[in-house]
A and B are shown apart, each in its own frame.
Chain A
Amino acid sequence: MSARQKTDGRKLTLYAAIAGLSIAAPFIMPNFYIQLSYLWLMVLFALTWDVVGGQMGYNSFGNIVFFGLGMYVTAVTQRDLYYTINEYATVAGRVDALTPRQYLTGLSLGLGMSAVAGVLLALILGVLVLRLRGHYFAISTLGIGFAAGDIAGGIDYIGAGSGLVTPVFPSGLGERGLFYYFLFLILAVAAFLTFKWIYSTRFGLAINAIRDDEDKAEAMGINTTRYKVLAWTVAAFFLALAGGATGNLIGFIDPVDTAFAGATFGVWMILMAILGGKGTIWGPVIGAVIFQITQELFWTFLLGWQRVALGALIIAIVVFFPQGIMGFVRHNWPELLGHRIEAREEEEAA
């Protein structure tokens, strides 16, 4: 077997193992549906942040805005399709509020609308905000993320500060936890495959070039605006879908704590990508898994102090481990990832 075939064989086994584990997990640990779904949500967060942040160098603190938008659009669609706001107030919380068919229609349509809304918002925001560089971009997106939460908290149509309740999962569709676990799994896998594919095309190289030297990219004729906006749009697409699904998973949407959760989800997505190794395809995934596990441990053992611990974790990673796991591996075992180093090259040439 050639070296190449060996690596391919190893890769295939790895993928198969992950796939098998992912599909079996909810059956092995049936009490952990929510945590497992959250795991895939974290993967989605990390991957979507990394395309604009790690791969393209535009560190966004405001990606959460697409997530929250998607969450609200789906929930509102699900409600408005079959009820008026007042009617809904009386039936919300009842298992028979929607028939299975109504529920599925509402959910699918809602998710579809969310995706469209996310894409549109990314296009509009992108054209305005992606012209900012570096820290100005970071802080503007910070502002957008937090402003969105406050604004949503003031709009009565979507429940204002009291939030919104998503329809109860009707009977006849099987186990709710299982249903949503697989929804999140499919979303996460779809996102992973999409990004993996994109990074192998010209698009992938272009956004890396923008990250490494945007002025140079412009000087070489690359239409940087187009690439920047597109990258954000792809991220927004998946974030909006994730938002719609999460709103239904949790059952209740709070504008600041759940939807536009800038201080939690919004920061975690950055942290996970950095922890795993930003700018790589597996980095965000690894970072998300480790982060989710760490979070669960913090919550179990530290309870109220978990957020404090999380703050300390952010500092520790950013200051002491900015290259992340993939960066660490690349530095110490470069051949493992197919990289070449100087000394090797000279040996080959000799």
Chain B
Amino acid sequence: MDNLQILLQAPIFSVQLLIDGLMIGAIFALAAYGMALVWGVMNIIDIAQGEYVMLGGFITFSLNRVGINPFLGIPVSFAALFVIGWILYRIVINRIVERDMFVSILATFGISILLQQLMSQIFGADIQTVESGLGTTFIFDNQITISQIKMVSFVLALAIGVVLVIFMRKSRLGRAIRATAQNARAARILGIDTDRVYAVTFSLNAAICGAAGALVVMTWVVQPYMGLAYTVRSFLIITVAGFGNIATVIVSGLGLGVAEIFAGFLLGTEFQMAFIFSLLVAILVWRSIRLRRKRQVLR
């Protein structure tokens, strides 16, 4: 842990890591919000969540390769993933909505494998990135660097989140979604087309992830197998934050981002993924031990 020494001797470096963590955490929070949406409304855990992010990244990457401004990739990826989500819903998801959760986990795992292998065949397994054309900002006597694209994506991620929350609260469709989440049968009786609601919710989630992916390819890198990590991060955030409100999701997302960046620095980047996976297991086990005192189980 020599890196720990570095942190202790140069605290300014911690600030750098903190900022990096917050920047990426916002994107994690966005993806988590989408997953919570699908989980809460349709009782489906979508293991392919990370793959939607990956697809969004590759779509933006492809656009960039033909000379289109990557920022346009955000709405394009959003729209493209909405369509892909709709198609997936119509072909696969609508048949598993009413079944038990293991079916949804396994089916979406199948989708996840299909998508990552597909992209691997098309683009190869290398990592890709996109130059946003923005520069870097230096603060604190040039000791801390913040790439401007990261700041922009942070703001954008939060902005998308805010728009979503407003949509869910104020719009007709948003309220229909929330009604279905609370009680699907009652919603149906009241005239809400639950099938439509499911389709929109599922596609919306994919679209959100697509937009997140566009941000990711500009701020970091994408590669066909990055999906599972995002899925696990989203699950982790939801486990910690619950379904309650967007604020806890954001805070948990930011927290995870920071924790991950610090772990990557202290343990080495090759252990960063192991850190996330292990953290998930640790939190779940901890939760269940605490619940056991009350003789309950995590449901």
The answer to whether A129 and B281 have CB atoms under 8 Å apart is yes
Which residues of A have CB within 8 Å of B121? 304-305, 308
Interface membership of B127, Cβ < 8 A: no
Task: Return the contact of A147 from the options B95, B96, B235, B281 (Cβ within 8 A).
Answer: B281
Interface membership of A140, Cβ < 8 A: yes
The answer to whether A140 and B110 have CB atoms under 8 Å apart is no
Interface membership of B118, Cβ < 8 A: yes
The answer to whether B285 and A135 have CB atoms under 8 Å apart is no
Interface membership of B117, Cβ < 8 A: yes
The answer to whether B271 and A131 have CB atoms under 8 Å apart is no
The answer to whether B117 and A150 have CB atoms under 8 Å apart is no
Q: How far is the CA of A150 from the CA of B228 in the complex (A)?
A: 13
Which residues of B have CB within 8 Å of A263? 113, 228
Interface residues of B in 157-196 (CB under 8 A from A): none
The answer to whether B102 and A134 have CB atoms under 8 Å apart is yes
Q: How far is the CA of A153 from the CA of B270 in the complex (A)?
A: 8
Q: How far is the CB of B271 from chain A (nearest CB, A)?
A: 6
Task: Return the contact of A136 from the options B103, B228, B270, B284 (Cβ within 8 A).
Answer: B284
Interface membership of B242, Cβ < 8 A: no
Known contacts A133-B297, A135-B101, A147-B274; A140 and B285 CB within 8 A of each other: yes
The answer to whether B284 and A318 have CB atoms under 8 Å apart is no
The answer to whether A267 and B113 have CB atoms under 8 Å apart is yes
Which residues of A have CB within 8 Å of B102? 59, 134-135, 138
Interface membership of B277, Cβ < 8 A: yes
Which residues of A have CB within 8 Å of B114? 308, 311-312, 314-315
Q: Can you name 23 A-B residue pairings with CB atoms under 8 Å?
A: A59-B105, A129-B285, A132-B284, A132-B298, A146-B232, A146-B273, A146-B277, A147-B278, A150-B277, A153-B270, A267-B113, A270-B106, A304-B121, A307-B120, A308-B114, A311-B110, A311-B115, A311-B118, A312-B110, A314-B114, A315-B92, A315-B111, A318-B107
Contact size range, A? 35 or more
The answer to whether B113 and A150 have CB atoms under 8 Å apart is no
The answer to whether A144 and B277 have CB atoms under 8 Å apart is yes
Extra inter-chain contacts (5) besides given A135-B102, A307-B113, CB under 8 Å: A128-B285, A139-B105, A140-B280, A146-B277, A319-B107
| Least CB separation from B235: chain A residue | A139
Q: How far is the CB of A114 from chain B (nearest CB, A)?
A: 22
Which residues of A have CB within 8 Å of B285? 128-129, 131-132, 140
Which residues of B have CB within 8 Å of A150? 270-271, 273-274, 277
The answer to whether A131 and B289 have CB atoms under 8 Å apart is yes
Interface residues of A in 277-330 (CB under 8 A from B): 304-305, 307-308, 310-315, 318-320, 322
Which residues of A have CB within 8 Å of B281? 129, 140, 143-144, 147
The answer to whether B109 and A267 have CB atoms under 8 Å apart is yes
| Least CB separation from A125: chain B residue | B281
Q: How far is the CB of A1 from chain B (nearest CB, A)?
A: 44
Interface membership of A154, Cβ < 8 A: yes
Which residues of B have CB within 8 Å of A151? 271, 274
